Amino acid sequence: MDEISLIAKFIDDQGFIRIHTLGGFDPTTLSTQRVVVHGNEDLTGVIGTKPIHAQSPEERKKAPKTESFFVDVGLPAEEVKKLVPIGSPITRERSLKKMGNYVTGKSLDNRVSVYMLVETIRQLKKSNCDFYAVFTVQEEVGIRGARVATNKLQPDIGITLDVTLSNDIPGVEARDRCTRIGEGIGIKIMDGSAICTATLVAFAEEIAQKNQISYQRELLTAGGTDTSAIQYLTGQGAHVTGLSIPLRYMHSTVETVSVTDIDNGIKLLTKMVQHLNEYQLKTHS
C-alpha cells in the first residue's frame, strides 16, 4: 500500500531540508530527483548534494551516502520551517509510463501487487474456503502490517504478493539471475526470510500447468517479504508461498515490470483461490 520514501529530520538556516530514509535506498538513485514534500501543504522540491565540480578527488572516489543529500524547495528558511514540520514525509515525483511491452515508474514495489489483488477480487467467481484479501503497509521497515494481519486472522495458508529481482541485465551472469522479465509470474521457493512450503509450491505449479499460465520458479537469496510473517513470525505457523512479479531497477523511480507477467499473476492467483480447498483436502487426508 505504501512506498519507500523520505522524512524531514532537520531544516538548516538556508532552508535546506535534511532527510532520513523510510525503507531501503541505493543512495546513487537519489541524486537530482524531483520530490513532493508533504508538509502543511504539498511542496515541490528537488534532491541535491555537493556538485561534482566542487568535490575533491578523494570525495569523487567515495560512494555517496544518504546523509549527504538534502531537499531544496526554493523558499526562504523561515517559510520552509512554517510549512514543513519535522517528520513530514517526502515522496519521489514520477509518473507511470508505458514502455514497449512493459510499464515503468516509481513504487511498483509493491503497488503492482495491490493492482494484482484488486483484479483477482474482481475476477473471482467463487471460493471454497475462507478467503481474506489483505493490503499491508510498512513491509519495507520490518513487515509490520503483515504481522498484525496474520496475528488477527491466523491463516492456515498464506500466498504473498510482491515483486522480485529481474536482474536479467548486462553485467549479471546467468547463474546469478533470479527471474527474467516477461517469462511468467514467479512462484516463490524461498527468499532471505522464508523457505516456502514445498507442497504449496507444487500445488501452485500444478494449477499453472493445467491452465497454461506462464510461470518461473523464484529463488531470492537476499531480502525478505511478508511471507515470513505469515509462516512463523507471529507464532501461528502456516503453509506459504508467494507470487512474485519480476521487476527491474528495484527501489528506483524507473522500476519496470512486464504487462504479461502481471496478467499471468492475476490468472494464477484467481485459479489458486478457486481451488484452494483441494490443497487443504490433499494435505489433511
The rounded distance, in Å, linking the Cα atoms of 96 and 88 is 24
Name 18's bridge partners.
Answer: 10, 70
Tell me: do 199 and 111 sit in the same domain. yes
Tell me: do 88 and 167 sit in the same domain. no
For residues 125 and 114, the answer to whether their CB atoms sit within 8 Å is: no
Greatest alpha-carbon pair distance for the chain in Å reads 71
Domain span including residue 73: 5-92
Which residues, 6 or more positions from 45, have their beta carbon under 8 angstroms from its beta carbon? 17, 34, 35, 36, 37, 71, 72, 73, 74, 90
Per the structure, the count of domains in the chain is: 2
pLDDT tens digits, 2-20 = 899 999 999 999 999 999 9
Q: Which of 92, 120, 152 is the last residue of a domain?
A: 92
pTM of the model: 0.91
Tell me: do 116 and 41 sit in the same domain. no
Smallest CA-to-CA distance from 18 within 91, 71, 89 is with: 71
Q: Which of 35, 68, 92 is the last residue of a domain?
A: 92
pLDDT score, position 67: 87
pLDDT tens digits, 257-273 = 999 999 999 999 999 99
Tell me: do 68 and 206 sit in the same domain. no
Q: Which three cell numbers stand for residue 24?
A: 531501503
Distance of alpha carbon 97 from the chain centroid:
18
Tell me: do 199 and 75 sit in the same domain. no
Tell me: do 225 and 274 sit in the same domain. yes
pLDDT tens digits, 120-129 = 999 998 788 8
Looking at residue 56, which CATH number applies to its domain? 2.40.30.40
pLDDT band at 55 (very low <50, low <70, confident <90, very high): confident
The rounded distance, in Å, linking the Cα atoms of 282 and 17 is 57
Q: Which of 64, 92, 120 is the last residue of a domain?
A: 92
Which residues, 6 or more positions from 61, have their beta carbon under 8 angstroms from its beta carbon? none
User: Is residue 31 over pLDDT 90?
Assistant: no
Tell me: do 230 and 121 sit in the same domain. yes
Provide the annotated active-site residues. Answer: 139
Segment holding 90, helix H or strand E = strand 89-92
Q: Which three cell numbers stand for residue 1?
A: 500500500
The rounded distance, in Å, linking the Cα atoms of 37 and 198 is 45
Which of 7-11, 64-68, 280-284 is the least confident region? 280-284
Tell me: do 154 and 243 sit in the same domain. yes
Residue identified by cell 512463523 is: 232
Residue identified by cell 511471507 is: 227
Smallest CA-to-CA distance from 227 within 127, 165, 134, 115 is with: 134
37 φ/ψ angles, rounded to the nearest 5 degrees: -95, 115
To the nearest 5 percent, what fractions of the chain are helix, strand and coil? 35, 25, 40
When the pLDDT of each residue in the chain is averaged and rounded to a whole number, the result is 93
Looking at residue 212, which CATH number applies to its domain? 3.40.630.10
Tell me: do 147 and 70 sit in the same domain. no
The alpha-helical segments, DSSP class H, found in 18-76 are 57-61
The rounded distance, in Å, linking the Cα atoms of 92 and 35 is 4
More confident residue, 222 or 135: 135
Tell me: do 82 and 151 sit in the same domain. no
* Mean per-residue pLDDT, 167-184: 91
How far, in Å, are 17, 30, 49, 58, 199 from residue 63 at the CA level? 21, 12, 13, 11, 44
Which of 18-27, 49-58, 178-187, 275-284 is the least confident region? 49-58
Tell me: do 158 and 201 sit in the same domain. yes
Tell me: do 177 and 119 sit in the same domain. yes
Q: Which three cell numbers stand for residue 280?
A: 487443504
More confident residue, 128 or 147: 147
31 φ/ψ angles, rounded to the nearest 5 degrees: -60, 130
